[in-house]
Chain A
Amino acid sequence: MESKHHYETIAELAALLSGGKLSAVELAQGLIERRKAVDPAVRAFNSFDEADALAQARASDERRAAGRPLGPLDGIPIGLKDVIAVEGQPLTASSRMLANFVSPYDSTVARKLKDAGAVCWGRLNLDEFAMGSSTENSAFGATRNPWDLERVPGGSSGGSAAALAAGEACAALGSDTGGSIRQPAAFCGVVGLKPTYGLVSRYGLIAFASSLDQIGPFARTVGDAALVLGAIAGHDPLDSTSFRVDIPDYRSEIAKRRGPWRLGIPREYFGEGLDPEIGAAVEAAIRFYRNKGCEIKEVSLPHTRYGIGAYYIIATAECSSNLARFDGIRYGHRSKDAADAVDLYFRSRAEGFGAEVKRRIILGTYVLSSGYHDAYYLRAQKVRTLIRQDFLDAYREVDALITPTSPVLPFKAGEKADPLAMYLCDVYTIGVNLAGLPGISLPCGFSKSGLPIGLQLIGQPYREADLLAIAAAYEGAHEWHTRHPDLEASVAAWNAKNPGRAS
């Protein structure tokens, strides 16, 4: 665990790099050593191309030596969830279906990170095709929570959150369809931002549910998240759902916005099923904002309880359509036992997809099938309208909403074997996706057992600067984000138990 920089923020590292006190290659080498020490236990990465990472770091140092650094992200290692294409690198979606797939092009976000000088830092684990809330559905092995290796890191972007919490990357990108950035950020004690639908291009993101998917950053601080968001946001002609909106310098916008704000507390997010320790931590955050002079107002989002039902119709319908492309013909797994061309589809998909992906394709196919489309899919789309309207009504009275990110603390691996029990964990995050809103999770405390707790702030469409400013006000007055897990002890214990798998 040689690197002394592995828990520093991008802001701190950028100052060291620009001041000549640290080189990008030194930073990369330190993090590579760190990764080798902790990742056999944490398993945040699906793959890591050390030669490529060091070559990118060298190129950054050369730019700086020539007096042409590209900005504050130049030389900063940023990991990418393994559903985001990076040219020439594996792109597996943690699925056997794509076990040998190499991406032929860059996603727009990877291209933008490279243009900002960031070092694309490995392929991060996830629930297969981003379907899950624990990263246990990966075909290549589950990621573990750095705060307790017996527990899950959340999901589906569990690798992105765990890599950051374990000090194996300086920031990361994930994707969020129903909470897949915010929930793992909460479980791992880091910041995770799901932008407004359309703010960040989805070009080169393997599609799960196209009307809900959005790429966003994981970071150690709100300011770092703002920096990465500024680098990846913006209209892209390659994504026809991306939105034409000016992208400000989010960090300087944060500094300009001091509040006080009108903040809404949706009563439906504090009911039955909320862990009392999480409830207490969020209540304390609400008191902080009240003491700061913010107007705190109880609001109602009356259709909240229908969110899970609507979401699991819409998301599975869209996934059954999107994943039809995996047929064993042009790329991906092809069965060797097929009798004919049609049998090839059936067998390739049976062999290539894991259980949760099959379950969701079956459910999505069912709700779209003849005779049921109106009863399920159309009805869910109408409920979606009502859920979205609930938020818009609330925003007539308040600037943003405060809620818990997750009703539960990080749970033990294997604890939620029943799919419905897992789905119900998404209750506080999916409304944001159905309504297309921005949401952020940031650390707001720890349980008595030492597990991180996440605070969710939900903002108004395309007003990320306000959302980030509200989050930064809390973060600046607390130090939860400066705590890190004691991985030295837990990794040593894990290695002793698993001698074959240690590096």
Chain B
Amino acid sequence: MERRTIIIDPVTRIEGHSKITLHLNEDGQVEDARFHVTQFRGFEKFCEGRPYTEMPSLMARICGICPVSHLIASAKACDELLAVRIPPVAEQLRRIFGLAQVVQSHALSLFHLSSPDLLLGMDADPAKSNLFGVLEKHPQLARDGIRLRQFGQQIIERLGGKRIHPAWVVPGGVSEPLSQDNRDAILKGIPEALAIAERTLEWFKYTIEGFREEIKTFGNFPTLFMAIVKPDGGLTFYDGKVRIGDASGKLVAPGLEPSRYFEYIGEKVESWSYLKSTYYKPQGYPHGIYRVGPLARLNVADRCGTPKADQELAEFHELQRTAVLSSFHYHHARLVEILYCVERLEQLLTHADILSKHVRAEARPNTMEGIGACEAPRGTLFHHYKIDEQGLIRWANLVIATGHNNLAMNRSILQVAKHFVHGNRLTHGMLNRVEAVIRTYDPCLSCSTHALGEMALQIQLLAPNGEVLDEAVRP
């Protein structure tokens, strides 16, 4: 048998455009696998020369799913440029904004993108592996997904004025305080959102019993895990120290400064993808592989800080004595985080000062460099800007969650492909599992492909037998 390459293009039910290549050896066994991100954005480059005040709004345009995370990280970087301490209520309002986005983004990932696999199975007819297939089999689940997304989106709309690309988060705080009407309307939706989160968790815990083989083979290998945690080790999406834990569950870095990210995180460009691969510098490339996002956050967090989510976290930690290693459990972690977010929203919205009108600190730039970090739905997000004397952006670097997970996604594909794909018998179910492992990470490729002009490019023209007929390389 001759060597063959199987191409899955495009990968479906993810955010953005990508393809996967599986390289088979002469025996039809998978020898290598790669996740190619084929779209290209360029935000770091084209924001050069723009006033720093535009950055939050510009950066929100990176993504239609998680614009709020970019707004928050960008505004925090600008807070540093201003060298201001923002009003406490502004910080709480930003937290509410971020939590609402996590709810809607996680709901999209779980209910709309991954629930067909979970409910109908990995071998289901591809024509039915969609929301219609879900609503046929479990209409309540389909309706719950829609309601939960609406809950998150409506909070964003109430605070930011619109659902997508709101510009309410600004350097120094937020542009408008929370009105009592909006506070009350959001609080009214909490009981239903909580009920949906709880019943979906119960459904999920029952459902995963049918996925033991996938749990064993979906990115089930040792890596580091990284997330921002509160000073007490609690789960957070807004502020804290970067914590890195290993596969055994031990902390290798308990409290790194987010503003020194470049000292411990390296970025590597591979010729076959527009998505950069990050790694933990002390362990080098590619050994410094780590994961971020829901699985990593729950692995490194000691507690959630809300009653129901803390119970679920304790149960989650019991899945494995070490860190929870299988990427299949990203789904589970996502649901625990939804529960946490809804509970935390209620805590924040019922705080005595939340309707305070003092929501913005005014200042001019006082430093020339600022770094903002937060936890986006998919993981740790860094925005790093340098400005000139006129306040214009001279340089920007964005380190995005999906990039942090790039090495792990590639290794996960290889693990799944080796287990499920055999060249002499290809089935939809096998190939769907290769895609499904990518979906566990919920990659947002629109966010993560932002470099322009400095990307090494390699274009190969291949004959059907794999022979390279022509090649163009930009080093």
A and B found bound together = no
